[in-house]
Chain A
Amino acid sequence: MSKMRYSRRAVLKGGAAAVAASALPAPMVWAQEIKDITLRQFGTGVSNLNDVANKVKEDLGFTLEMTALDSDSVTQRAATQPDSFDIADIEYWICKKVWPTGNLQAMDTSKIANYDKIVGIFRDGKLTPESTIAQGTAPHSVGFVDGPGGTSFATEETGWMTLIPTIYNADTLGIRPDLIGRPIETWAELLNPEFKGKASILDISSIGIMDMAMVCEAMGEIQYGDKGNMTREEIDKTMAIFTEAKKNGQFRAFWKTFDESVNLMASGEVVIQSMWSPAITAVKSRGIECVYQPLKEGYRSWGGGIGLSSSLSGMELDAAYEYINWYLSGWVGGYLMRQGYYSAVPETSKNFMTENEWGYWFEGKPATDVITSPTGDVLAQAGETRDGGSFYDRMGSVACWNAVMDENQYMVRKWNEFIAS
């Protein structure tokens, strides 16, 4: 029923929008009808927050429907069900997989007001002009195409973006310092027999393989040509090391979902594991000690962005651009940064954070007052500093990005074998 209503409305609007767009490019014209517009967004639970949808309704007037899924389902839906969404909130490595299907359309950067303020990572790949680009699927390498219909990625800024960057972070291992009782400095500790039966790794192949590579490299077992694009032999060797560890009972569990990692850590089932930043804060907010441990080999980083369905056009497309511009204008950025992520345009987000919050989350300064999450949970007391320090310290020591490699198909099958072994 709803589907029929939708299609009829879409037809009517499509026509109206075409007329409006040609006659009067100003968005004011359709302010009346914008209330009827519904954009369907899906993505991981990380940024598909109902608070964002509510704020969109308030600020922009239209309805944003959010569906939160796990990373694999997100990939699946983006690749196979183009009709089920208008806006895809996906990670850059997913984009590399999905873009060739033609389900997404390139975005005109000239319509993005804050484009020039987007951090360098997403444009030329460099955080600062001196930075070197980390291995893996770096966001800028899949961030641009040649034109509106481009199917292959461009190597430089072209004015046509695949995803508008929204959220990113540098990941490392999470530990329970109270249960470990000694400093942890290297990724190699994940396979240290000392933590037999108390370690965990995430069961999402594209991310897990990178954590594995960080570990194997840190152990000195494997020298990778490029961790983000392994050869079959490198994949075999990596999997062999981890399969051996699994057989020896190194791992307590694998986690696939955010919540599992929190519970594993909070309940003491696991003392060292791959983890995501807000999972650490979730453990901490229960009064349990938990550290997002910076390691000498550096971070494994990831980035997410918003992509538009290729079927979006007319008024819906205009609304989507409105939404993107609003997204980068600061409110969401502030909301995400106060959870420990980073915003693509930090300077606009600053306006939506207190000086204390900005100092703690972005500049790595000691908190001058209690730090709370957007939902009001206490995350840090005055005097505490963020694990890993400032934005430039953390994003500056990224060793690799989450990646999809040429041998992805092979890796995926090997991964399945590893999980099943």
Chain B
Amino acid sequence: MLKNRHIQGWLQASPLTLILIGFLILPIITIVVVSFWQATEFSIIPAFTLENYEFLFGSPVTYKVFFATFKYAAITWALTLLIGFTVAYYLAFHIQNQTTQIALFLLCTIPFWTSNIIRMISWIPFLGRNGIANSMLQSWGVIDQPLEWLLYSDFSVILAFVHLYTLFMVVPIFNTMTRIDHSLIEAARDNGASGFQTLIHVILPLTKPGIMIGTIFVLTLVMGDFITVRFMSGSQKANVGRLISNDISLLQYPSAAATAVILLITVLIVIGILLRFVDIRKEL
């Protein structure tokens, strides 16, 4: 019976396992292998070399770019958490009517279903030197000269990240919040806790799993991104993803693979640390 259960389990999980082996494990192995290969301008040569890693670790640009990646991830995380938590809190505790709650929740999620590229490029006419934001600010007399840093800057990159990924914070936090037993909150209030105290001492700790799941989403999405940085910085800024995609577009696959390996290790370490704080399976 016990043995049977294991076999049955693996049988049912076999399509999943096969897909993950074919399109996750094998590609990772290939990347690791290729990262030790040599390249010419147009092809890769299966001959062992450490040159890719030597170049990677030997270039000051690498460290700068990894730093930029962490910077984007950290700032985006802080902003999405702040906004995501507030929005989820509002929906979960201030909207009493369940239909309204669902309707407003859907309103938040709808943009998530539309094309990321389209959502990204939508910012450009808004933020440009002669864009809506600058014209408005100028007509209101707030500024004399157009603000240059609105577009093609760290600001616009992070703005786009927050725009694209806040939902990944809202959804898990909202999910956890709706599962908080309301009697706990009432108990806190009955004991004389202010709204703010309840928030800090009761709701926040209970929402931690949702925050962690949201954090995992946001961090991995931002750390792996390459297209947002390219579009929103006008190619002036770089993160690790862009380093990889640049190498790919220049046909430098081994070099791209080496960078990819380091990025993968970094992401897995970050996620590994986060997973210590939350049992995803239990908290879903």
Contact = CB atoms under 8 A, between A and B. Distances in A.
A–B direct contact (CB < 8 Å): yes
Interface in B216-235: 230, 233-235
B236 interface: yes
B235 to A, nearest CB: 4
B238 interface: yes
B238 A419 contact: yes
Contacts of B41: 97, 404, 408-409, 412
Interface stretch (B72-80, B181-189, B249-257): B249-257
Contact of A253 (B61, B235, B247): B235
A415 B42 contact: no
Interface of chain B, main secondary structure: loop
Given A253-B235, A267-B130, A408-B41, A420 B250 contact: no
Nearest to B243: A420
Contacts of A417: 59, 61
B129 A269 contact: yes
Nearest to B124: A263
Contacts of B250: 72, 205, 412, 415-416
Interface string B30-65: 000000000111110000000000010001010011
B255 to A, nearest CB: 7
Interface in A256-304: 256, 263-264, 267-269
Contacts of A421: 61, 64, 238
Given A251-B236, A413-B255, A79 B246 contact: no
A255 B152 CA distance: 12
Interface in A397-421: 404, 408-409, 412-413, 415-417, 419-421
A417 to B, nearest CB: 4
Question: Could you say which of B40, B61, B131, B230 has the most chain A C-beta atoms within 10 Å of its C-beta?
Answer: B61
Contact of A412 (B43, B238, B243, B252): B252
Contact of A101 (B42, B130, B243): B42
A251 B255 CA distance: 27
A301 to B, nearest CB: 21
B148 interface: yes
Given A269-B129, A420-B61, A421-B64, A256 B235 contact: yes
B151 interface: yes
Contacts of B252: 409, 412-413, 416
A75 B42 contact: yes
A246 B236 contact: yes
Contacts of A255: 234-235
Contacts of B64: 420-421
A416 B243 contact: yes
Interface in A338-377: none
B130 A268 contact: yes
Contacts of A386: none
- Say what secondary structure dominates the interface of chain A: helix
Given A253-B236, A404-B41, A419-B246, A267 B129 contact: yes
Contact of A79 (B43, B130, B230): B43
Nearest to B40: A409
A98 B235 CA distance: 27
Nearest to B251: A76
A101 B59 contact: no
A246 B247 CA distance: 20
B168 to A, nearest CB: 26
A73 interface: yes
A252 interface: yes
Contacts of A331: none
Contacts of B249: 72-73, 76
A268 B148 CA distance: 12
B235 A254 contact: yes
Contact of A252 (B39, B40, B234): B234
A229 to B, nearest CB: 14
Contact of B152 (A75, A205, A246, A253): A253
Contact of A420 (B40, B128, B242): B242
A419 B42 contact: no
Nearest to B255: A413
A197 interface: yes
Contacts of A269: 128-129, 151-152
Of B42, B152, B252, the most chain A CB neighbours within 10 A belong to B42
A203 interface: yes
B248 to A, nearest CB: 8
Contacts of B251: 72, 75-76, 79-80
Nearest to B248: A76
Interface in A204-257: 205, 246, 251-256
A409 B151 contact: no
Contacts of B236: 246, 251, 253-254
Contacts of A149: none
A268 B233 CA distance: 16
Contacts of B148: 197
A290 to B, nearest CB: 16
Given A76-B249, A80-B43, A415-B250, 13 more contacts: A72-B250, A75-B42, A76-B248, A80-B251, A253-B233, A253-B236, A267-B129, A267-B131, A269-B152, A408-B41, A413-B55, A420-B238, A421-B238
24 contacts: A73-B249, A76-B248, A76-B251, A80-B43, A252-B152, A252-B234, A253-B234, A254-B236, A255-B234, A256-B235, A267-B129, A269-B128, A408-B41, A409-B41, A412-B250, A412-B252, A413-B255, A415-B250, A417-B61, A419-B235, A419-B246, A420-B64, A420-B238, A421-B238
6 nearest A-B residue pairs (beta carbon): A253-B234, A420-B238, A254-B235, A72-B249, A79-B42, A417-B61
